[in-house]
């Protein structure tokens, strides 16, 4: 059974710091891995999607890496800003015979960037 | 705006009420999903529809009844709910392509409170 774990559960940093969020998964047979952002009481916004054949993806100040063999992904945020404060979720789909795109989520890392 | 809308955004209902949540996607996707997000728990997939056919029911109690009349609309009919069903209900859509799922786009959610 696929399980996704995110560490740390919460993180508070001063503005300007570079930071790393961690995600691990137990079953390495994944099709891709996604990082999402969720603001309080809101839906999810997709940040980055890494295909299983890729090692990393970049979007602006965000860089996500994927190491399938070790079951790990990291989200690197450069020069953090107060607007980055949110909960960051990673998710992997189960690529079974039904091919449904069923996403398994971690519990998220809640980030607070202080001015 | 992600192209996925949900109504209502907030709902308070008694345990004997019947209500429905509505989701609409304007992205031309062929798959739609219902997720439940309870406090301090990971997002849980409830139902998956591909081309209007239900392909996944993640052991959801029968008091939750999904309906997908076409590929753009998804409903979640609620009846005789329990207080523990209070949660944020998120709808998502994606384009299922051969070989696996694509990025899911989430709506803003319906915050449900069951009294």
At residue A102's C-alpha, the angle toward residues B28 and A11, to 5°, is 105
CA dihedral (A30, A32, A33, A39) in degrees, to 10, reads: -130
What pLDDT is stored for residue B12 in this prediction? 95
CB–CB contact A99 B106 (8 Å): no
Mean pLDDT of A72-91: 97
pLDDT band for position A97 (50/70/90)?
Answer: very low
Q: CA nearest A5 in B: which residue?
A: B42
* Residues B11, B77: Cα–Cα separation, whole Å: 13
What pLDDT is stored for residue B69 in this prediction? 93
Per-residue pLDDT at A10 exceeds 70: yes
Interface of B to A at Cβ within 8 Å reads 2, 4, 6, 31, 33, 35, 40-43, 45, 48, 50, 55-56, 58, 88, 90, 92, 94, 96, 99-109, 111
Q: What is the pLDDT of residues B46-69, one digit of tens each?
A: 998 887 777 777 789 999 999 999
Whole-number Cα distances in Å, B77 to B51, B55, B66: 20, 18, 6
pLDDT band for position B99 (50/70/90)?
Answer: low
Mean pLDDT of B7-36: 94
* Residues A61, A80: Cα–Cα separation, whole Å: 8
Mean pLDDT of chain B: 89
CB–CB contact A45 B100 (8 Å): no
Give percent of chain B above pLDDT 70: 96
> Residue A13 has which token pair?
């940093």
Q: Which residue has the higher pLDDT, B3 or B52?
A: B3
What pLDDT is stored for residue A98 in this prediction? 47
Q: What is the pLDDT of residues A50-68, one digit of tens each?
A: 988 899 999 999 999 999 9
Per-residue pLDDT at B100 exceeds 50: yes
């Amino acid at each position: 059974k696929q399980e996704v774990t995110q560490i740390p559960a919460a993180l508070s940093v001063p503005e300007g710091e570079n930071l790393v969020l961690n995600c691990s998964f137990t079953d390495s047979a994944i099709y891709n891995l996604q990082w999402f952002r969720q603001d309080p009481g809101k839906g999810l916004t997709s940040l980055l999607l890494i295909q299983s054949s890729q090692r990393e993806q970049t979007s602006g100040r965000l860089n996500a890496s994927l190491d399938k063999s070790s079951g790990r992904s990291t989200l690197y945020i450069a020069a953090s800003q107060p607007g980055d404060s949110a909960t960051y979720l990673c998710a992997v789909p189960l690529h079974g015979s039904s091919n449904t795109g069923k996403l398994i989520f971690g519990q998220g890392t809640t980030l607070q960037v202080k001015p | 705006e992600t192209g996925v809308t949900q109504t209502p955004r907030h709902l308070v209902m008694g345990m004997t009420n019947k209500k429905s949540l509505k989701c609409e996607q304007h992205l031309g996707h062929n798959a739609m999903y219902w997720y439940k997000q309870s406090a301090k728990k990971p997002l849980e997939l409830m139902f998956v529809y591909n081309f209007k056919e239900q392909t996944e029911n993640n052991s959801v109690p029968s008091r939750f009844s999904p309906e997908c009349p076409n590929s753009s609309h998804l409903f979640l009919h609620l009846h005789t709910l329990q207080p523990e069903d209070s949660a944020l209900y998120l709808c998502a859509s994606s384009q299922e392509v051969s070989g696996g799922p694509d990025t899911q786009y989430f709506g803003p959610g319906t915050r449900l409170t069951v009294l």
